[in-house]
Every structure is written in C-alpha cells, then in structure tokens.
C-alpha cells in the first residue's frame, strides 16, 4: 500500500509538471497547493509551486511558500539558497544577508554562500571604486578591492 501511495504522489507531481510545460499555470498551481497541504513534509511540491508562482509574477507568494517549507526542512541548503535568491529578487537584501549569515555557520565551505556573502557585504567591488579609494588615500581598502577582483 505504501508503494502505491508514493507512486500516486510521483504521478501527481509529473502531472503538475506537464501542466506547467503546457502553460496551464493556474491549474498546476491549484494542484501543487493541494499537494503541499496534504503532504507538508515533501519538499518537491514546495519547490515546484514556488517556481510556478514566481513565473506567474507572484514573487512574494513564491517566497512565502518556501519559508513555510523551512518549518519542515530547517537545514536544507538548497531550500535556503532558493529563499535567498527570492529575497534578493524581491529587493530584501537585509533578510538575504541574515539568512546567509545563518547558513554560513552551518555550511562554511560552500562556495556559493561565500560568494553571495561577499557580494552583499561589498556592493562597491569595482575597479573604479578601488581607484577612487586609492586616490583618497584609503590604500588598504583599495588593496582589498583589487584582491577581490583578482588584480
């Protein structure tokens, strides 16, 4: 019986995927919301629903769906990365920065996290900014920027 249930869930997910491919977004979103409510511990429908909402221009709701999923999967790095990307797209740099700091403690070796953290901490990492610092006498700051740029 358990295997039949898993097969049925996979079938429902594939059907939602087909609906999304055929541009039947509203029907797919409806089905995915139903799956999320019935099976709250299964991450795949959350991701698919969030992506469908995002493509539909509903970025805030797409973000809310992923935040809801963190209650069931608080340590999922993939989930946290998706949330950070949506925060950044939605213009919420502070929430993205806070979440990055949180997951950096859990995954300090992850290159994506390191890069994203650096970008959020240093919005002016350009050669022009380094030269400006240099001209103003901030040699150490200029050197740090040049190092980040690989010069």
pLDDT at 99: 93
What pLDDT does 1 receive?
40
Q: Is the pTM of this model over 0.75?
A: no
pLDDT value at residue 36: 93
H or E element that contains 97 = helix 93-106
Model confidence pLDDT, tens digit, residues 86-144: 998 888 888 998 999 899 888 889 999 988 887 777 555 677 777 877 887 878 878 87
Mean pLDDT of 73-89: 93
Question: What are the residue ranges spanned by the domains of the chain?
Answer: 2-108, 120-151
Question: CATH for 2-108?
Answer: 1.25.40.10
Helix, strand, coil % in the chain, rounded to nearest 5: 75, 0, 25
Classify 125 as helix, strand or coil.
coil
Mean pLDDT of the chain: 85
């Amino acid at each position: 019986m358990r295997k039949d249930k898993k097969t049925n869930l996979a079938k429902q997910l594939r059907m939602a995927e087909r609906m999304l491919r055929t541009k039947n977004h509203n029907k797919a979103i409806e089905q995915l919301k139903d799956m999320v409510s019935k099976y709250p511990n299964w991450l795949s429908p959350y991701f698919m629903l969030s992506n469908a909402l995002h493509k539909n221009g509903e970025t805030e709701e797409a973000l809310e769906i992923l935040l809801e999923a963190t209650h069931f999967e608080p340590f999922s790095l993939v989930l946290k990365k998706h949330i950070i990307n949506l925060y950044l797209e939605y213009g919420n740099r502070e929430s993205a920065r806070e979440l990055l700091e949180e997951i950096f403690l859990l995954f300090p070796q992850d290159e994506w996290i390191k890069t994203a953290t650096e970008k959020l901490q240093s919005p002016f990492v350009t050669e022009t900014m380094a030269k400006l610092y240099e001209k103003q006498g901030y040699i150490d700051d200029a050197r740090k920027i040049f190092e980040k740029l690989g010069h």
